Amino acid sequence: MRLFVYAMREFDELKYFEECREKYGISFDYTTAYPSMDNAVLAKGCDAVSVITNPIGRELLELFAGMGVRFLATRSIGYEHIDVEAAHRLGIRVCHASYSPNSVANYTIMLMLMACRNINYILEKSRLQDYSLEGKIGKELSLCTVGVIGTGKIGETVIKHLGGFGCRILAYDLYEKDSVKQFAEYVSLERLYRESDIVTLHIPGMEENYHMLNAAVFEKMKDGVILINAARGMLVDTDALIAALESKKVGFAALDTVEEEHGLYYLNRERDIILNQHRAVLSAFTNVILSPHMAFYTGQAVSDMVGKTVEAIVRLSEGKESPLEVRI
Which residues are designated catalytic? 232, 261, 293
Return phi, psi of residue 66, to 5°: -65, -25
Please state the three-class secondary structure of 280-292 as a single string. HHHHCCCCEEECC
| Nearest residue to 240 (alpha-carbon basis) of 261, 212, 207 | 212
Give the type of residue at 227. L
User: Distance (Å, rounded) from C-alpha 257 to C-alpha 309?
Assistant: 23
Q: Where are the alpha helices (DSSP H) in the chain?
A: 14-24, 58-66, 84-89, 102-116, 119-127, 153-162, 178-181, 189-195, 215-220, 238-246, 277-283, 299-317
Spell out the alpha helix ranges (H) of 128-237.
153-162, 178-181, 189-195, 215-220
